[in-house]
Homo-oligomer: A and B are copies of this chain.
Amino acid sequence: MSAALANWLPPWLRHYQRSLLAGDISAGLIVTLLLVPQGLAYALVAGLPPQTGLYASLLPLVLYAFSGRSHAQSVGPMAVTALLVAATLSRLAAAGSDDYLLAAIWLALLSGAMLLLFGLLRLGFLADALSQPVLAGFTSGSALLIVVSQLAPLAGFRASGASLPDIAAAFFRHAAAFNPLAFGVGLGGLLFLVLARRYFARLLLACGFAANVARTLSRTAPMLLVLGGLLLVSQAQWQTLLPVVGVVPGGLPHLQLAALPSTGLAPLVMPAFFIALINYVQSLSVAQMLAAPRRENIDPDRELVALGLCNLGAGLSGGFPVTGGLTRSVVNADAGANTQLASLITAALMVLLLSTSTALLADLPLSLLAATIIASVAVMVDFGALRAAWRTERADAVAFAVTFLLVLALGVDAGIVAGVVMSLSVWLMRSSRPHIAVLGRVPGTEHFRNVTRYHTEPLPGVLLLRVDESLFFGNARHVGDSILQLVAVSDKHSLLLVMSAVNRLDMTALTMLERLDETLAERGVTLHLAEVKGPVLDVCKRSGLAARFGGRLHLSTHIAIQQLCPSLDYHI
Contact = CB atoms under 8 A, between A and B. Distances in A.
Chain A, interface SS category: helix
Nearest to A165: B266
Contact of A424 (B129, B300, B468, B504): B129
Contact of A292 (B123, B388, B432, B519): B519
Given A165-B266, A427-B473, A543 B392 contact: yes
A427 B269 contact: no
A436 interface: no
A125 B433 contact: yes
Contact of A125 (B267, B411, B429, B485): B429
Interface in A379-409: 385, 388-389, 391-393, 396, 409
A431 to B, nearest CB: 7
Interface string A452-480: 00000000000000001110111111100
A125 B478 contact: yes
A107 to B, nearest CB: 15
B507 A389 contact: yes
Nearest to A411: B266
Number of copies: 2
A521 B485 CA distance: 51
Given A125-B429, A410-B270, A418-B270, A506 B396 contact: yes
A523 B129 CA distance: 30
- Residue among A128, A269, A426 with the highest chain B CB neighbour number at 10 A: A128
Interface in A286-328: 288, 292-293, 295, 297, 300
B427 A542 contact: no
Contacts of A300: 477
Contact of A132 (B126, B127, B424, B508): B508
A488 interface: yes
A543 B132 CA distance: 15
Given A396-B506, A420-B421, A473 B431 contact: no
A417 interface: yes
Given A293-B522, A391-B543, A420-B424, A504 B430 contact: yes
25 contacts: A123-B425, A125-B478, A128-B475, A128-B477, A129-B421, A131-B473, A131-B507, A132-B473, A132-B507, A163-B266, A165-B266, A269-B414, A270-B410, A273-B418, A273-B421, A292-B519, A392-B507, A392-B539, A392-B543, A393-B506, A424-B424, A426-B506, A430-B506, A431-B470, A468-B503
Interface of A: 91, 123, 125-133, 162-163, 165-166, 264, 266-267, 269-270, 273, 288, 292-293, 295, 297, 300, 385, 388-389, 391-393, 396, 409-411, 414, 417-418, 420-421, 423-433, 468-470, 472-478, 485, 488, 503-504, 506-508, 510-511, 515, 519, 522-523, 539, 542-544
